[in-house]
Amino acid sequence: MEFLEFVCVMTAILVSGLLIFVWMSSRNALILQDLTEKRRISLERSKAARARYEREEPDLGPWVAELLGAVGVSPEVLFQEEMPAEFQKLVPVVKGFIDGGGLQKLMSSANAPTEDRSAI
């Protein structure tokens, strides 16, 4: 009788373990399928944005890509749906620079006469 109870308990444990394993693997497969679909959609939107960007603003591309390369960021960032974390961190800094008049100072120094620059 003890052997029969042992076999029944072990069978119940193994079947429940198998059911949990199947449930977890199917859940992970669904999550992976959802992520794959989101990535596919993101890539399609990225390609469409890249095509629209190249069609509408062909002369904007070279200097933007060069500027991003100088900062150390891939130009592919322009065509992503979401803002990268590095840019999210820089937004307050740039906003403060612009609100503080830094852009106007930079532009006025670029338009200054060259004689003043030679004195420096």
Per domain, the residue ranges of the chain are 1-80, 83-120
Inter-residue contact 18 to 24 (CB < 8 Å): no
Residues in the chain: 120
Q: How far apart are CA 76 and CA 74, in angstroms?
A: 5
Residue 105's identity, in one-letter code, is K
- Which residues lie closer than 8 Å to 68 by C-beta, 6 or more apart? 74, 75, 77, 78
What are the pLDDT digits (tens) for 33-72?
Answer: 999 999 999 888 888 877 776 665 545 456 666 777 777 7
For the record, the structure tokens of 91 come out as: 């937004």
What single string gives the DSSP state of each residue in 26-69?
Answer: HHHHHHHHHHHHHHHHHHHHHHHHHHHHHHH-TTTHHHHHHHHH
Give residue 35's pLDDT.
Answer: 93
Give residue 5's pLDDT.
Answer: 93
